[in-house]
Each structure stands twice: as structure tokens, then as C-alpha cells.
Structure 1
Amino acid sequence: MKIDPKLFLFVLIISLFSCKGTAQESGTEKPIVEFGSSEIEKNGYPKSVGIVNDYGQIFSETQYLELTKVLYEYDRTTARQMVVVSIDSMAPYENITQYASDLGNEWGVGTKEENNGLVIVICKPCRQIAIATGLGTEQILTDEICNEVITKTILPEFKNGEFYTGITKGVKELIRRWN
């Protein structure tokens, strides 16, 4: 039996909202997201584990939970979905922007009606980052704005090894400009 990824993501979001307070109070740990052949879908993409998919293991447990909370709150209050994905490899892709765009389409980020999703993909070993937007999002957050956020907000922090700080500042700047 194959589960529709959009349905899975919806159920996951609802589950996380209903458990949000308990997970933080009980000290629930960040899920281990090492992926091998069993976690990679037939299409070659990793399975989505939520709104933050830290396959590259660049965030601590606390950072993961804080970033997840910010992104879920933004999605809940605006119906705009922003997803952060860290990976160790984008093979067989050579272009991380195309990878991010295809991944966002495959996972169904954003609503189908509004096409209002945004995906940030970081490949630390590749030393690359991309922001891909749905067509509805691109009307506000143009490629120029996304590239500016990467170069002026995110990359300066990455150069200091501060991946969480860079992503957090980038997310906040994207939210500011998207509102």
C-alpha cells in the first residue's frame, strides 16, 4: 500500500500540533535521520519527516525543535509553507536549485491551489544552498530576493560555521519579506 505524500505530510503536521507541548516538556529527542536505501523513495528523494528534514545532521536537537516551531507557527498562521532540508548529497543532480525545486514539487510543499511553498536546501559537503519557490510564492519572493537573502543573510553565518544561525536569520528575513 502506497501512502500519498501530501496526506502523510498533513497527518504529520496535525500530529505534531497535537503533541507540540508534550514533546518539548518530556525531552523528546530529535529523530535520527540517517538515510539509506530504505528511506529513499523510488523517485530518488528522501522521505519527508516534517517541516525540517535534517538529513545532513547540521542542527542540534534544540535547534531542530526551535526551527520546527518557527516554521509550523508560520504555516499555521499564514497557510504558507516553508520547508528546510539539509542533505549530504544531491546526486544525481548537479544543480541544487533544480534539486530543491523538484523536491518541493515531489513533496507537495505549499498548497496546490496557491502554489505557495518554499524549500530551502543545504548541502554542507557540496558547499551549496538553494531556495526554491512555488509559482504563487515567486510573485512576492522573487529569485532576486531569495538570492539576496542567501548572499547577504545566510552565507555570512555559514562562512563562520554557524549553520543554524544562518538558516534562522534567513527564514526570519524571508518571513519578513513574504508578509
Structure 2
Amino acid sequence: MRYLTLILLFCLPFTSMAATVAVPTLQQRVTDDARVLSPREVEQINRQIVTLEKKTGHQLAVLAVDTTGDDSIEQYATRVFDAWKLGDKARDDGLLLVMAKTDRTVRIEVGYGLEGDFTDVQASQVINGSIIPRFREGDYGQGLLAGVQAISRQLGVPVEGDAPAVASRPVAAPLPSSSGDAISLSAGSIGLWLLGMIILPFFFLRRNSLLRGLLVSAIVTGVSLVNTLLNDGIAGVSGDNVGLLFGGSLMMQMLISSLIGTLTGGGGWSRDRSDDRDDDGPSRDDDSDSSSGGFSGGGGRSGGGGASGKW
């Protein structure tokens, strides 16, 4: 009996060690230690997580294990979150979706900074409405995918396959009538307008096409307004008409100036080449996903928020 007691005491530490499930190393967004996901499902989940990251900056990771050992799903999720440090260090905006196949438990752990945007109630709705029904059917891959998609929707991120939101079509504004609103131009005014479009650009600011265009358009617009005041009085002038005339003058001068530049061998409306020297050079590619060496946490922490479920 004494020998049996010694054997039991010797084995007890190893039993405790075996009951503590180690936290896996974070290397990718989806960690499938339970072997419940197909390669296609991993790809689908990963793609949706990337969309969430790009739209919001939040960091989400998915973990599937066989069991959490002696830990509850809440305790294990806290250990994983603390080890992985999901989310930005300044924002604490990480998310963890973890399931234990044999224990039949699942949890969404929410970073401290996201608890206001993704509440415990919303996390519970995702678990009970999207994840558990599929888990009960043994479809763990689709359950995790549905969970990630539901989290994305709760945070305002579109999901692949969803119907796009239909924006209301704005009502077109009525075109101005020719009776009272439109600025009337006589044949003489039209001639002066076209003449100004061709001649004036040669006398003003040859080195700066943009300022030249604005100045010429302002002059031509002023001449047309004076003509309108003389012919129709103040009733013939409105703010909309002034804007339309100025914009039309600017666009017409762009076209004519470009044609003149082409015929004379100049640059037309284009900027001086000297202006290009002030550019910062070629733009950098902001998409750094392809160059990243892996997936790691950003220093975030969890405040214990989230929800759990069992099926």
C-alpha cells in the first residue's frame, strides 16, 4: 500500500501538467489545432479577417482546439488573449474566436477598447445565432466562418456574397429655363466670349496655366454678367448661373488652350515641367500584406468582455 501511495504521488504532478493545455504559438490568423477545417474553409475565414482588418484596423484571430483541459473556456480564452496580445497596443481592439471541440464550448473574447463597439450582447448573438446552430450539425468550419462573418457585420464590414446596399437615387435638379433664370447672351457677347478664350490666355500668366485659366474665366464671366445686367437687369443674374458660366468658361478655355498648345508645339493646359521637380517622387505601395513575415499581435489586452456558449 505504501508503494502504491508513492506511485500515485509521483504521477500526480504529471497529471496536473497534462490537464493544462498549452497556448499555441500565434503564426497565422486561423490556428486549427483540432483539425476541423478544410483548406478552403481556412482560406475563406482568413480572407474575411483580412477584409475586417483593412476596413477597421481591428485584429481578429480564430483558434480551434480539442479541449481546454482543466481551464474553462473563459479562462483559456483569457490565457490565449494575454499570450497573443491581439489588437493595437494603443486601442486594445483585438478579437479572439476560440472553440473546443471535445468540450463543446465556444467563446468570443473582446479587447478592452472594443467593448463599446462590440458588446457582450452582440457577441452572444453571434454565438447563439450563427455559430452554435452549425456546430450542432457537426459543421465546425462553416460555424467558424459564419461567426467571423457575423462579427464583421456587427462592426459594419461587408461580407463576400452579401447583397450590396442600394443607395437612394438623388432627385435630379430641374434644368434652368430659358425664360428667366438663364443668362442671355447676344451675338456680340458670344463673339467677345470666344475671342477672350483665344486671345486673353496669351497675355496673362503664361508660366502658370491654372492661374491663367482662372483669371481669364473670371474676366469673361464678368463681361458676360455686365452684358446681362445691361440687357435684362438684375433679374437675369443668379448664383447658379454665375457658377455655370464661370465653370463653362474654365472648361472651354482648357479645351482651347490645349488645342493651341498642340498646334504650336507647347504644352497647352499642362503644368510647367519645373513644377514636377517639387513632386515627392514615385508613390509608395501601401499594401504591405505580401511583404509581412507572418501574423503577430500588436500589444492589445482584453478586459474580460465577450460571451461564451455550449452546444
The size of the alignment, in residue pairs, is: 136
| Pick aligned residue for 1:46 from 2, 18, 24 | 24
Partner of 2:162: none
Between the aligned partners of 1:102 and 1:134, the Cα distance in structure 2 is 13
In structure 1, what is the equivalent of residue 132 of structure 2?
A: 155
1:58 counterpart residue number: 36
User: Which one-letter code corresponds to 2:114 in the other structure?
Assistant: T
For 1:155 and 1:80, locate their aligned partners in 2 and report how far apart those are by CA, in whole Å: 24
Structure 2 equivalent of residue 134 of structure 1: 111
Q: Gaps (5+ residues) in structure 1?
A: 1-42
Q: Distance in 2 between matches of 1:77 and 1:149?
A: 20
1:120 corresponds to 2:97: yes
Inter-partner Cα distance in structure 2 for 1:114 and 1:98: 23
1:66-120 CA-to-partner distances (Å, cap 9, x unmatched) read 2112112321332101110001121241x20221122112101111110001100
The alpha carbon displacement at 1:169 in A equals 1.5
Within 5 Å, give how 1:6-155 maps onto structure 2. Answer: 44-93=22-71, 95-155=72-132
Q: TM-score, normalised by structure 1?
A: 0.71
Structure showing greater Rg: 2
Can you give the 5+ residue segments of structure 2 that lack an aligned partner in the other structure?
Answer: 1-20, 157-311
Q: Which residue of 1 aligns with 2:259?
A: none
Distance 1:157 1:148 in 2: 14
TM-score by length of 2: 0.42
Counterpart Cα distance in 1 of 2:132 and 2:22 = 28
- Larger RCO (CA under 8 A, 6+ residues apart): 2
Deviations along 1:29-63, whole A, 9 cap, x unmatched?
xxxxxxxxxxxxxx931111211011111101111
Q: List, as ranges, runs of 4+ consecutive aligned residues in structure 1 with deviation greater than 2 Å.
A: none
CA–CA separation in structure 1 for the residues paired with 2:22 and 2:142:
29
Cα displacement string for residues 121-158 of structure 1 (whole angstroms, at most 9, x for unaligned residues): 01011100001001111111111211121111111111
- Contact kept? 1:56, 1:124, Cα under 8 Å: yes
Identity %: 26
Aligned position for 1:6: none
Matched, 1:177 2:154: yes
